[in-house]
Amino acid sequence: MTFTNILLETKNSIGYVTINRPDKLNALNQAVMAELGEAFAALGDDKGVRAVILTGAGEKAFVAGADISELAQQDAVAAKEFALRGQAVLNRIENLGKPVIACVNGFALGGGCELAMACTMRLASENAKFGQPEVKLGIIPGYGGTQRLTRLVGKGRAMQLVLAGEMISAAEALRIGLVNEVVPQAELIARAEAICGKIIANAPLAVQYALEAVNHGAEMPLSEALFLEATLFGLCCATEDKNEGTRAFLEKRAAVFQGK
């Protein structure tokens, strides 16, 4: 599978997706979004891929935002469809069934911040910058920014970022819970690979069900979320991996999981 605007490769059970428009600071346009949708559909179907790392080409930007020249041409009807198509791609990333780690290696503004927030976790380089500056263009975030940002950092902080359109540093993003870790830029991918390695060592179905429990449970009342958790716990207990994991623990050896 070849793409024009992104790079896709797999290695050691990890999929690597790189948005490759460094001359445009990896800005998102419809072509990029379509290719991201195709790439993540393929990664979701590839049973050999257990985790994904998403980043941007170059050292300046993860994704600096949307392609404004394209956005400027949208009327009300086209803009709604534009937002819904983008939301569908980010929903696919969020609910891939496999962890996706965003390696934010520079600017993550507007759609770039929204893309990072759709990932399972976010690692940031020390020079990373985050923001939702859409109000400065007379619009609001349209790829889930008003919703995921609130869920990640709380209503008050989300309101400040969205309404003021201000940009924050990696250190501030870490402080408010927008990112998981801040690491030197040269170590960003290696740190993500280390986390992926720990995840890949675990039972594949347990990882998948844990992702479902957290992602879907967060949208439910507590009683319903607890019922979902119990149901998924029960499904885990019907797997061969559960039998292998418990047996390996009792036998004091490393488990060999098969994803069954």
CATH of the domain at 87: 3.90.226.10
The count of structural domains within the chain is 2
Reported as type and span, the H/E element at residue 171 is helix 170-175
User: pLDDT at position 159, please?
Assistant: 97
Is residue 134 flagged as an active site residue?
A: yes
In the set 38, 59, 134, 244, the catalytic residue is 134
As a whole number, mean pLDDT of residues 161-185 equals: 97
Asked whether residue 185 carries a pLDDT value surpassing 80, the answer given is: yes
From the candidates 114, 193, 212, 224, give the one annotated as an active-site residue. Answer: 114
User: Rounded mean pLDDT of 20-38?
Assistant: 94
Angle between helices 222-236 and 204-217 (to 10 degrees): 170
Kindly report whether the global pTM for this prediction surpasses the value 0.85.
yes
Nearest alpha carbon to residue 123 among 181, 209, 176:
181
> Is 1 part of any domain?
no
Tell how strand 167-169 and strand 121-125 pair up.
Answer: unpaired
Residue 2 has what pLDDT?
84
Catalytic-residue membership of 229 = no
Q: Does 91 map to a domain?
A: yes
- Whether 47 is in a domain gets the answer yes
pLDDT tens-place string over residues 68-108: 778 778 889 988 998 999 999 999 999 999 999 999 999 99
- Which of the listed residues 176, 200, 224 is the one where a domain comes to its end? 200
CA separation, residue 24 to residues 19, 27, 73 (Å): 11, 6, 18
Residue 1's pLDDT is 72
- My answer on whether 188 and 212 are in the same domain is no
Is pLDDT above 80 for 67? no
Residues 100 and 223 in one domain: no
Is 28 in the same domain as 43? yes
CATH code: domain of residue 212: 1.10.12.10
What is the residue range of 152's domain?
6-200
Q: Alpha-carbon distance 145 to 167, whole Å?
A: 14
Report the alpha-carbon distance of residue 68 to residue 91 in Å, rounded.
23
3-state DSSP call for residue 62? strand
Q: Is there a single domain that holds both residue 14 and residue 80?
A: yes
> Would you place residue 61 in the very low, low, confident or very high pLDDT band (cuts 50, 70, 90)?
very high
- Closest CA relative to residue 173, chosen from 117, 90, 135, 219: 117
Mean pLDDT score, 182-199: 97
**178's tokens:** 């927008």
In a domain, 257, yes or no: no
Q: Which of 63, 44, 77, 51 is nearest to 6 (CA)?
A: 63
DSSP state of 259: -
Question: Do 77 and 104 fall into the same domain?
Answer: yes
Distance CA 240, CA 166 (A): 50
Question: Same domain, yes or no, for 195 and 69?
Answer: yes
- Is there a single domain that holds both residue 243 and residue 188? no
Residues 106 and 33 placed together within one structural domain of the fold: yes
